[in-house]
Amino acid sequence: MKNLAAVLAFISISFIANAQVVGTSQVPPKPVEAVEEVLALQEQVYDFGKIPQGKPVTHVFNVENIGKDTLRISNVQASCGCTTPEWERNKAQAPGERTKITVGYNAAAEGPFTKFITISYNGTQSKQITIKGEVWKTPATSAPENAGLKTLTEE
């Protein structure tokens, strides 16, 4: 009997809670204001192709302020420590003005790579650029070993 009373109480509470949720009026969400695009990139992906191991490489990404407001790049963050971005810090670009972001990659690890760099600007906005390529292993010596040289010295 106690179990039946507990089950009936639970069902009653469920119906009451559901009725309150269904009966409330929902306020439609406010429309999101469109943010004017300010930062334009000449390219968003750069492919280094095949590069030798141990030889750092760099690429310059051109940035332009295409908006009506000032462009302030607050941070440029790479996805790993092998990628180093450089830019003019604390500089405001007026509308129509151009700047550069130089991205360096330390080609230490052999194999294909894809690295992402996030550009944060004007408070809450961000864009992503990508570098990619393939690092090939460099030979241990500058020229192939001459096996015939050994036979000359053994005699």
Rounded CA gap, 39 and 91, in Å? Answer: 14
Count how many domains the chain has.
Answer: 1
53: domain CATH number? 2.60.40.10
Quote the mean pLDDT of the chain: 83
Of 51, 41, 49, whose CA–CA distance to 118 is shortest? 41
For residue 110 the two structure tokens come to 């052999």
Q: What's the pLDDT tens digit per position in 62-116?
A: 999 999 999 999 999 999 999 999 999 989 999 999 999 999 999 988 999 999 9
Alpha helices in 1-155 (DSSP H): 2-23, 147-154
Domain that holds residue 132: 39-136
Residue 151 included in any domain: no
In sequence order, what are the beta bridge partners of 57?
105
Is residue 32 in some structural domain?
no
